[in-house]
Structure 1
Amino acid sequence: MTDDDGFREFVHARLGRLSRIAYLLTGDHHSAEDLLQNALVKIASRWSKVSAGGAPDAYLRKVLYHEHVSAWRRSRHLRAEWPTAEPPEGGSGRDLAADTVRRVLLEQALAKLTRKQRAVIVLRFVEDLSEADAAAALGVSVGTIKSQTSYALKKLREQAPELHVLVREPKEAWA
């Protein structure tokens, strides 16, 4: 198997999860695609070293979060969402209206946080990483993860009390 094949398989196996994480970080599909593409380009150029290191998931996660947190340095303008004429594909038997409400609530709540707080919340509660793993992904101390999580949760409790409906929902329902 060539390095290119190994990289392709690595990305293919994780693309859905990585796309959801990028979307939760950015709150916008186009920005999420750009974020994920930039992270994958960076890791692809170093794939032989990354895969040999034995922790390509951790390396990709770190690149993804660092790209997200530093994005404001490159671009400070807001990105608008544009309506489409066609609704998204559906028909899976799930309650799409309830799924949409959950996604909108989560998106609006995450938008009220700073980039770092948003990254910490997604790492800790969506990706279900430990404090130590989240700290490693962001390149910060465990204490920073603890404090940012605390600040973010306090802010969410104050500014987004409607999130209580997500607490009783299974995590898969809002992914």
Structure 2
Amino acid sequence: MSILHGRGLTGPGAHDDGFEEFARANQTRLYRTAYLLCGEQEGARDLTQTALAKIFQHWRRVSAADHPEAYARTVLTRTYLAERRRRLRDLLAHTPVDVPRASVGPELTVTLLAALAELPPRARAMVVLRYWEDLSVESVAELLRCSESTVKSQCSRSLARLREQLGPAHVYTARN
């Protein structure tokens, strides 16, 4: 089931000025980025849906942008970070709960997602945008409203932490 049909973004007026076409063309890419940010399917679906809903609300502005895909990625990332900050505030306001560490399985995907989950939300967003989305340091800095040196230092620290958690790279390569 597509995200559009599953959550109510279709119907009268939803296709106005090309929104539906834009959403269909970009929902898979947005979902993949959301999955890397959230680390789980349901959260990624919700994040993608929320971002598309926000884009729909401001579609005239988005469609007039030079790069609507970049605008959508910005909305997705900022929505993720805002939700994480909101969850952190809620968590700090209540009794702390022990969160069990994710079990690292033998598959690289599971292992990488578990390692990404250990990064703080903003650092995780920087790593995903910089290395998964292949954005430049300048683009990530603009997207997250921080300096380029912050992006460089956070990515460097995050990659070092990931390398430490994941261990030697040769463990993940297939040998015949």
- Tell me which interval the TM-score lies in, with the shorter structure as reference length: 0.7 to 0.9
Matched, 1:155 2:167: no
- 1:78-128 alpha-carbon deviations (Å, 9 max, x no partner): 999xxxxxxxxxxxxxxxxxxx81210211110111101110111111111
In structure 1, which of residues 16, 29, 44 is the aligned counterpart of residue 28 of structure 2?
16
Match of 1:114 among 104, 120, 128: 120
Check conservation: 1:135, 1:141, Cα contact below 8 A.
yes
1:30 maps to 42
Aligned residue type for 1:131: V
Amino acid at match of 2:67: A
CA contact (8 A) 2:30 2:48 kept: yes
Secondary structure of the corresponding residue to residue 66 of structure 1: helix
1:50-129 matches, within 5 Å, as: 50-76=62-88, 101-129=107-135
Larger radius of gyration: 2
Let me know the Cα RMSD of the aligned residues.
2.5
How many percent identity over aligned positions?
Answer: 44
What are the ranges of 5 or more consecutive residues in structure 1 without an aligned counterpart? 81-99, 170-175
Mapped partners of 2:169, 2:111: distance in 1: 7
Q: How many residues align?
A: 148
Distance 1:163 1:136, change over 3 A: farther
Alpha-carbon separation, structure 2, partners of 1:116 and 1:162: 25
- Taking structure 2 as the reference length, the TM-score comes to 0.74
> Compared with structure 1, are the counterparts of its residues 164 and 35 closer, same or farther at alpha carbon in structure 2 (3 Å cutoff)?
farther
Does the 8 A contact of 1:3 with 1:48 survive in 2?
A: no
The answer as to whether partners of 1:105 and 1:163 remain within 8 angstroms in 2 is no
Matched, 1:142 2:148: yes
Deviation at 1:5, TM superposition (A): 4.9
Q: Deviations over 1:7-61 (max 9, x none)?
A: 1111111111111110010011111111111111111111111111222112111
- TM-score normalised to the size of structure 1? 0.75
The 2-side partners of 1:104 and 1:112 are apart by 13
The letter for the 2-side match of 1:114 is P
Query: How far apart are residue 162 of structure 1 and its match?
Result: 5.4
2-structure distance, mates of 1:53, 1:19: 21
**Whose relative contact order is higher, 1 or 2, with alpha carbons under 8 Å and at least 6 apart?**
1
* Rounded Cα–Cα distance in structure 2 between residues aligned with 1:52 and 1:119: 26
Determine helix, strand or coil for the equivalent of 1:54. Answer: coil
Match of 1:75, SS?
helix
Cα pair 2:112 2:166 within 8 Å, conserved: no
Which runs of no fewer than 5 residues in structure 2 stay unpaired? 1-13, 92-96, 101-105
Cα distance in 2, alignment partners of residues 164 and 38 from structure 1: 39
